[in-house]
Amino acid sequence: MMRIASVFTEKKHAALIAFITVGYPTLEATLEAVPLLEKCGVDMVELGIPFSDPLADGITIQQASFEALQNGITPAACLDAARFIRKKSNMPLIFMTYYNPVLSYGQELFCADSSRAGIDGLIIPDLPLEEAGALEESTLNHNLDLIYLLAPNSSEARIREVADRSRGFIYLISVTGVTGIRENAPLGLNEFTSKVKKHTDKPLCMGFGISTPEQAAHVSKSVDGVIVGSSIVHIMGTQKQWKPPLSHFIRSLKKAIQTAK
């Protein structure tokens, strides 16, 4: 069974999925963070490959990407990091990046190297569904799940197509906008998820703007997985001794999700 699929087998609560930017605040921090996240209850990790124009991301992850690039982080360095992490963990790992780094690397080679490094799936938010055929074929060739995104304003036709083509899970964007820390939980989640569930029984995971345990608990009632990124990146980037507050935050997210579900 694929590692991503195994997360959603007979689970009584929503999965907790964490996002971190590779190389932020340092590469060493990334390598230390993933085992810590797993120990504290994270079920899956998105490893963000930094890119100079992260159009789907808000200021927190934009800044993290900029600093990671300044630290010399490249797709090759991210692959090395994934290989290192895979030796210590069997948790599903996903690369989240943009299409330019994949295309520049060579998409067939990128998929082959990602698979060899122990990556389980890819999220490419700026790759139009209509232009994703070649990458889809490459991911299939190398046993990677290509995960597509849906927004609250996605049409029924788009929902049907994403439901048919997304593998691993479907990424639901909680708001029409970019990632970032927000004060309030998004509205209309039940309507959005119900609309998607009419077309698929694949796992649905929601991200963008989920920043607190209360928000995670609220979202978890409607979906199979909750994705948290900006708050984690913020803790790692702004607190010199980031491990204790990150551990506390992750454990509080996990507890809130388990209680709510």
pLDDT at 148: 98
Out of 10, 38, 43, 57, the active site residue is: 57
- What three-state secondary structure class fits 98? coil
- Report the mean per-residue pLDDT for the chain: 93
pLDDT tens digits, 168-194: 999 999 865 445 444 555 656 889 999
Q: How many domains does the structure of the chain reveal?
A: 1
pLDDT at 188: 64
Section 41-59 average pLDDT:
90
CATH number of the domain bearing residue 241: 3.20.20.70
2 within some domain: no
| DSSP codes joined into one string, 205-243 | EEESS--SHHHHHHHHTT-SEEEE-HHHHHHHHH-SS-H
CA 132 – CA 127 distance, rounded (Å): 6
pLDDT at 90: 93
Range of the domain at 34: 14-260
- Whether 115 contacts 142, CB under 8 Å: yes
User: pLDDT confidence of 261, banded at 50, 70, 90?
Assistant: low
4 within some domain: no
Q: Is the pLDDT of residue 206 over 80?
A: yes
- The residue assigned the tokens 């691993």 is 168
% of the chain surpassing 70 pLDDT: 93
**Looking at 56-60, 92-96, 187-191, which range is the least confident one?**
187-191
pLDDT at 186: 60
For Cα atoms 86, 170, 47, give the angle at the middle one, nearest 5 degrees. Answer: 30
Section 194-199 average pLDDT:
96
8 within some domain: no
Section 134-154 average pLDDT:
96
137 within some domain: yes
69 within some domain: yes
Section 25-37 average pLDDT:
98
Section 231-245 average pLDDT:
96
Section 138-147 average pLDDT:
98
pLDDT at 178: 44
Q: Is the pLDDT of residue 48 over 90?
A: yes
67 within some domain: yes
250 within some domain: yes
Q: Known catalytic residue: 57?
A: yes
Number of H helices, E strands in the chain: 12, 9
Out of 46, 113, 120, 145, the active site residue is: 46
Q: Is the pLDDT of residue 85 over 50?
A: yes
pLDDT at 12: 77
5 within some domain: no
Among 9-18, 55-64, 108-117, 209-218, top mean pLDDT goes to 108-117
